[in-house]
């Protein structure tokens, strides 16, 4: 790839497409069909399988459509169906859900597509790829300014109803001018006098990726191009996916905030990992 954009995120996205754990191939194939179909996107390739399970299918569909509305009944049925593999299958659901969204976002912005894998990875760990490799890699990217990064993160936190994410405030963004008044405006950003036009352009794109990724509007993509460079636009797209890893915690009811009241300040380290006081 000679676009001048970083290759590492593309390589990792390709690895996510290739991953299909030996003992979970049929479930992986099912959730790839379901998640993509729910959002009217092309499904990621998968090993041939006619496997179907109502609990896994229902969980994957709700995960993709609106994880904030995942019911205890859906969660319980999924946990019963997947047992000790629940966390791994949920990571597979996340990949099935969000890599197609990223592909749609990149296409809408005219950025390079994710290269197709040359074969299956039956030994890779989806949890490791998502949480230990992808999330910190994107967190370490610094093309975007910290306030825009935080505004985008908080929009995703509300859209996915992640209690943990909503309780956190990134320190570099606060030091760069982020305020609670500004963050309060994210909910109704179009009428905000505190959020800049670049923030609004970013948030329109965030909303499209989260709710209507199969039909990203041309004017929304044009707004991203107006306010962001290609490197910033790529990071913006990847940030939406990184932030959306909170769907895993929300889906499994593991998103309890770190503080009982108010918010906690943290720093996103140079390695992309959060550092708490």
pLDDT for 263 beyond 80: yes
Same domain, yes or no: 119 and 246: no
DSSP assignment of 183-246 equals HHGGGGGGG-SSS-HHHHHHHHHHHHHHH-GGG--HHHHHHHHHH--HHHHHHHHHHHHHHTTH
Q: What is the mean pLDDT of the chain?
A: 96
Express each pLDDT in 89-134 by its tens digit.
Answer: 999 999 999 999 999 999 999 999 999 999 999 999 999 999 999 9
- Assigned token pair, 109: 């912005």
CB-based contacts of 141-145 (< 8 A; 24+ apart in sequence)? 141/6, 141/9, 141/235, 141/238, 141/272, 143/229, 143/231, 143/232, 143/234, 143/235, 144/228, 144/232, 144/235, 144/236, 144/239, 145/176
Predicted pLDDT at 49 = 82
Domain total in the chain: 2
* Longest CA–CA separation in the chain, Å: 53
Q: Dihedral of the CA atoms 161, 165, 166, 170 (nearest 10)?
A: -150
pLDDT for 165 beyond 80: yes
Q: Which of 100, 118, 136 is the last residue of a domain?
A: 136
Q: Which of 105, 120, 136 is the last residue of a domain?
A: 136
Domain membership of residue 17 as a residue range: 8-136
Alpha-carbon distance of 124 to 19, in angstroms, equals 6
Same domain, yes or no: 150 and 127: no
Express each pLDDT in 194-224 by its tens digit.
Answer: 999 999 999 999 999 999 999 999 999 999 9
Residue 2 falls within a domain, yes or no?
no
Q: Do 157 and 243 contact (CB within 8 A), yes or no?
A: yes
Radius of gyration of the chain (CA): 18
The pTM score is 0.96
Same domain, yes or no: 157 and 268: yes
Predicted pLDDT at 43 = 97
- How confident is residue 1, by pLDDT bands cut at 50, 70 and 90? low
Alpha-carbon distance of 96 to 118, in angstroms, equals 18
- How confident is residue 183, by pLDDT bands cut at 50, 70 and 90? very high
Predicted pLDDT at 243 = 97
pLDDT for 141 beyond 80: yes
Q: Do 27 and 87 contact (CB within 8 A), yes or no?
A: no
Q: Which of 120, 136, 152 is the last residue of a domain?
A: 136
Express each pLDDT in 17-61 by its tens digit.
Answer: 999 998 999 999 999 999 999 999 999 999 888 889 999 999 999
CATH number of the domain enclosing 216: 1.20.1290.10
Same domain, yes or no: 58 and 153: no
- How confident is residue 2, by pLDDT bands cut at 50, 70 and 90? low
DSSP assignment of 153-195 equals HHHHHHHTT-HHHHTEEEHHHHHTT--HHHHHGGGGGGG-SSS
Average pLDDT over residues 254-262: 94
Residue 3 falls within a domain, yes or no?
no
CA distance to 21, 223, 236, 268, 269, per residue, from 146 (Å): 36, 19, 11, 10, 12
pLDDT for 227 beyond 80: yes
Same domain, yes or no: 145 and 269: yes
Alpha-carbon distance of 91 to 95, in angstroms, equals 6
**Where do runs of H (alpha helix) occur along 24-176?**
25-38, 54-66, 72-82, 86-109, 126-127, 135-139, 146-159, 163-166, 171-175
Same domain, yes or no: 81 and 26: yes
Same domain, yes or no: 169 and 56: no
Same domain, yes or no: 169 and 255: yes
Same domain, yes or no: 90 and 181: no
Same domain, yes or no: 96 and 59: yes
Residue 199 falls within a domain, yes or no?
yes
Same domain, yes or no: 114 and 241: no
- How confident is residue 3, by pLDDT bands cut at 50, 70 and 90? confident
- Residue 46's nearest CA partner among 63, 26, 60, 61 is 26
CA–CA–CA angle 46, 51, 55 (5° rounding)? 110
Give the distance from CA 91 to its chain's centroid.
Answer: 11
CA–CA–CA angle 225, 222, 212 (5° rounding)? 115
Percentage of the chain modeled with pLDDT above 90: 96
Express each pLDDT in 265-277 by its tens digit.
Answer: 999 999 999 999 8
Same domain, yes or no: 89 and 216: no
């Amino acid at each position: 790839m000679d676009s001048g954009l970083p290759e590492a995120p593309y390589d990792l996205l390709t690895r996510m497409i290739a991953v299909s754990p030996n003992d979970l191939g049929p479930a992986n194939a099912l959730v790839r069909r379901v998640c993509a179909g729910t959002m009217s996107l092309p499904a990621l390739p998968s090993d041939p399988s006619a496997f179907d399970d109502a609990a896994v299918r229902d969980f994957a569909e709700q995960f993709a459509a609106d994880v904030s509305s995942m019911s205890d009944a859906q969660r319980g049925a999924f946990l019963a169906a997947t047992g000790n593999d629940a966390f791994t299958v949920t990571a597979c659901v996340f990949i099935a859900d969000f890599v197609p969204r990223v592909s749609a976002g990149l296409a809408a912005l005219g950025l390079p597509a994710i290269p197709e894998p040359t074969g299956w990875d039956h030994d890779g760990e989806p949890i490791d790829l998502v949480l230990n490799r992808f999330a910190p890699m994107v967190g370490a990217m610094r093309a975007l300014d910290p306030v825009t990064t935080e505004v985008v993160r908080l929009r995703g936190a509300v859209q996915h109803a992640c209690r943990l994410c909503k309780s956190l405030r990134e320190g570099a963004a606060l030091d760069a001018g982020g305020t609670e008044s500004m963050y309060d405006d994210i909910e109704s950003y179009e009428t905000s006098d505190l959020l800049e036009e670049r923030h609004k352009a970013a948030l329109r794109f965030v909303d499209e990726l989260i709710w209507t990724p199969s039909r990203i509007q041309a004017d929304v993509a044009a707004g991203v191009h107006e306010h962001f460079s290609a490197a910033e636009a790529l990071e913006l797209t990847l940030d939406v996916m990184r932030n959306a890893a909170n769907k895993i915690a929300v889906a499994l009811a593991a998103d309890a905030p770190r503080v009982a009241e108010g918010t906690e300040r943290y720093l996103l380290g140079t390695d992309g990992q959060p550092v708490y006081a």
